[in-house]
Amino acid sequence: MTPVIELEGLGVRFGKREILKGLTCSLSGRTIGLLGPNGAGKSTLINTLLGFYHPSAGTARIFGHDIRTQTKQIRSVVGYMPENDAFIANMTAVSFIRFMGELSGLPAEAALERAHESLFYVGLGESRYRKVGTYSLGMKQLAKLAQAIVHGPKLIILDEPTNGLDPPARQRMIRMIKEMRQVHDVHIVLCSHLLRDVEEICEEVLILKDGRIVHYSNLEEERSANRRFVEMEPVGDSAAFTQALEAMGCECALSANRLKAVLSNGMEIRDIYRLAAERNVQLRRLNYRRDTLEDIFLKAMETNTNGSL
Amino acid sequence: MAVYKRSYRPYTGRLTPAWSRFFVLTRYAMRGMFKSKFLTAVFVLSFFSPLICALLIYLNHNPAILTMLHARHNEVVSVDGQFFLGFLGVQGGIAFFLTAFIGPNTIAPDLANGALPLYFCRPFSRAEYVLGKLCSLFYLLSFITWIPALVLFGIEANLSGAGWMWEHRSLAIGSLLSSWIYILMISFSAMALSAWVKWRIAAGALMLAAMFLLSGFGAAINAVLRSNIGFYISPGALITRVSSQLFGLDSPINVSAGSAWVALLVMCGICLALLAKKVRAFEVVR
């Protein structure tokens, strides 16, 4: 399968400032998160992938198209929702989205039809005949999403899509992005500094710091791996219970009234309850312990790498 | 993505040819222009002068009316280079006024609202963007300048015969070329100012000022240095020189026609360079 995004020693320089430093990685997940503190180079990476900035070193490919030589092909399969305000003020939303659709190559009738559909989809159906300039910040975000999807792109790049949204609007935006990723052949790149958004939506996460890649994480794999760590609070004969778990092949650590265990292959939670019942041990608490994205992010911020995976 | 289903689906229909997409921008820009009642009114008024000229040409060929006026053929109006130069001078003035009114609105709103990334994240280049905007001005100004000039030429040719048309073909070519260079010149200037001065009124005023100040400054240079070098910074003088050459007339502007052409093209080039600097998805701060 062709990777969605491949970076090969990608470097970007503005004058003497080196913004991106030899990024190398391959991403092929359905939803890819770009994380990093302010000034890490997330937006620069997106802008470079879209051909807005020229790479000073290396190259990158989107669906196999080189960003140095095949910008038009890349742009025809990409939908982009920019971070900042971006709209045409004196147009109604439906004209604006239709216009964007036509610029993407849709015939006028199809663009109009899809403009209506996109606006209904993002929840602006009732206000589609209002001028975009009169929209609230949240509505402008939705209009930006509508213009990004009107031409049905294969890759949707969302730069801080939940910026400025109130909690219900944020939830709605996240739900829409989740819905979109279910559609066959659509990939999403989400650039955000909000860990919760990325954690909720993304399968893969690339963490940038000072223009370098400091961590790559496949959240799906990590989530399934994390399910194997269990933290319990047994009451009763804890020692016997621990021995029984170890006999089943678990690695255990008992401290005060807390028991941490790494479950062996094939062992399930109901086996733990069975062993506890057999030994008359009460389990007051049982948690799957997993690294949150915040843990991963904070660890990544402490590390220094050379920019490649 | 049907409205009632409200679910996302990719687009699988046909696409328009890539080369034709700048017309979309032109179409929308023109639609935006004619939302202004003032522009529509001035545009309609700009046809007043061609109508008068057409009437004069008709009178010139109507023996009954000439007899009534005790005039002879070509006494009412003489359709020659001077006639077309004068006609295009009047129409050029209206065209310039309209450009100063609508030109600042071409690029500034897109810059102010951050719309440029939305254009350029699509298979649509910066050159196509400039071309699309230029075409909207070009179409509008064409209806004021060379199209009515060619209609007048056609009326005269129809009334005077094919021999006149062949003999005076240089008038048609002159009208066409002098209008084109004039339209390009004022359109590029308006677009460059629109890209650099975001406040519309200031951009319009600056355009008017630039034209008159440059002419005045050029005249001052000529007077002080006792030379003709000042004409090279005066767009009006250069256009007059080029048009005079195209219509085969003597010109009060004492510079060679070739150098006037070069100077105009250099001015267009400077405007394009200014546009290239500003028309980008994101400004790079070095």
pLDDT at B104: 86
- Nearest residue to B244 via CA among B256, B232, B234: B256
- Cβ separation of A149 and B119 shorter than 8 Å? no
- Residue A282 burial (10 A CB sphere; 0-12, 13-18, 19+): exposed
Strand partners, B87: none
Q: Which amino acid is at A64?
A: G
Q: A95 and A40: one domain?
A: yes
User: A22's torsion region: left (phi>0), alpha (psi -120 to 50) or beta?
Assistant: left
The answer on pLDDT for A102 being more than 60 is yes
pLDDT at B150: 97
Eight-class DSSP state of B241: H
Q: What's the CA gap between B145 and B90, in Å, rounded?
A: 9
User: A2's torsion region: left (phi>0), alpha (psi -120 to 50) or beta?
Assistant: beta
Tell me if A301 is assigned to some domain.
Answer: no
Complex-level ipTM: 0.87
- Cβ separation of A117 and B13 shorter than 8 Å? no
> Is the distance from CB of A173 to CB of A201 less than 8 angstroms?
no
Q: What's the CA gap between A301 and A285, in Å, rounded?
A: 32
Q: A248 and A209: one domain?
A: no
Q: What's the CA gap between A70 and B210, in Å, rounded?
A: 41
Strand partners, A92: A131
Q: A122 and A88: one domain?
A: yes
Q: A264 and A165: one domain?
A: no
- Cβ separation of B117 and A80 shorter than 8 Å? yes
pLDDT at A226: 56
Tell me if A48 is assigned to some domain.
Answer: yes
Tokens of A237: 């004969």
Tell me if A299 is assigned to some domain.
Answer: no
Best B122, B124, B285 member to test A by mutation, with max A CBs in 10 Å, is B122
pLDDT at A100: 96
Q: A206 and A58: one domain?
A: yes
Q: Which residues of A touch B23 (CB under 8 A)?
A: none
Q: A184 and A256: one domain?
A: no
pLDDT at B214: 87
Q: A9 and A136: one domain?
A: yes
What stretches of chain B show up as alpha helix (H) in DSSP? Answer: 22-33, 37-45, 48-60, 63-68, 81-102, 108-112, 116-120, 126-142, 146-160, 162-167, 169-196, 200-225, 235-246, 257-278
**If pLDDT is split at 50, 70 and 90, which confidence band does A228 have?**
confident
Q: Which residues of B touch A110 (CB under 8 A)?
A: 11, 13
Q: Which residues of B touch A183 (CB under 8 A)?
A: 7-10
Three-state SS string across chain A, please? CCCCEEEEEEEEEECCEEEEEEEEEEECCCEEEEECCCCCCHHHHHHHHCCCCCCCEEEEEECCEECCCCHHHHHHCEEEECCCCCCCCCCEHHHHHHHHHHHCCCCHHHHHHHHHHHHHHHCCHHHCCCEHHHCCHHHHHHHHHHHHHCCCCCEEEEECCCCCCCHHHHHHHHHHHHHHHHCCCCEEEEECCCHHHHHHHCCEEEEEECCEEEEEEEHHHHHHHHCCEEEEEEECCHHHHHHHHHHCCCEEEEECCEEEEECCCCCCHHHHHHHHHHCCCEEEEEEECCCCHHHHHHHHHHCCCCCEC
Q: Which residues of B touch A125 (CB under 8 A)?
A: 3
Best A75, A103, A179 member to test B by mutation, with max B CBs in 10 Å, is A103
Q: A158 and A202: one domain?
A: yes
Written as tens digits, the pLDDT of chain B (286 aa) is: 555 556 777 888 999 999 999 999 999 999 988 888 999 999 999 999 999 999 999 998 888 888 888 877 777 788 899 999 999 999 999 999 999 989 888 999 899 889 999 999 999 999 999 999 999 999 999 999 999 999 999 999 999 988 999 999 999 999 999 999 999 999 999 999 999 987 878 888 888 888 888 888 988 998 998 888 889 999 999 999 999 999 999 888 889 999 999 999 999 999 999 999 999 987 666 5
Q: Which amino acid is at A35?
A: L
Q: A115 and A140: one domain?
A: yes
Tokens of A27: 């991403």
Boundary-marking domain end, from A222, A252, A275? A222
Eight-class DSSP state of B180: H
**If pLDDT is split at 50, 70 and 90, which confidence band does A224 have?**
low
**If pLDDT is split at 50, 70 and 90, which confidence band does A304 have?**
low
pLDDT at A156: 95
- Cβ separation of B12 and A52 shorter than 8 Å? no
The answer on pLDDT for A2 being more than 90 is no
Tell me if A138 is assigned to some domain.
Answer: yes
Rounded CA Rg of chain B: 23
| B165-to-A83, B75, B252 alpha-carbon distances in Å | 60, 20, 28
Q: A94 and A213: one domain?
A: yes
Rounded CA Rg of chain A: 24
Please give the residue of chain B at the shortest CA–CA distance from A16: B286
Q: A152 and A215: one domain?
A: yes
Residues 6+ apart with CB under 8 A from A282: A234, A235, A236, A276
Taking only the tens place, the pLDDT of each residue in B124-171 is 999 999 999 999 999 999 999 999 999 999 999 999 988 999 999 999
Number of domains composing chain A: 2
Q: A254 and A134: one domain?
A: no
Tokens of A67: 């960003």
Tell me if A295 is assigned to some domain.
Answer: no
- Cβ separation of B124 and A78 shorter than 8 Å? no
Taking only the tens place, the pLDDT of each residue in A19-50 is 999 999 999 889 999 998 888 899 999 999 99
User: What residues in chain B have their Cβ under 8 A from chain A's Cβ atoms?
Assistant: 1-3, 6-16, 18, 21, 24-25, 28, 32, 35, 109-110, 112-115, 117-125, 280-282, 284-286
Residues 6+ apart with CB under 8 A from B31: none
pLDDT at A306: 52
CATH number of the domain that residue A133 is part of:
3.40.50.300
Q: For residue B214, which phi and psi values (nearest 5 degrees)? A: -65, -40
> Is the distance from CB of A121 to CB of B7 less than 8 angstroms?
yes
Domain hosting A273: range is 228-288
Structural domain boundaries in chain B: 18-278
Please give the residue of chain A at the shortest CA–CA distance from B31: A91
Tell me if A22 is assigned to some domain.
Answer: yes
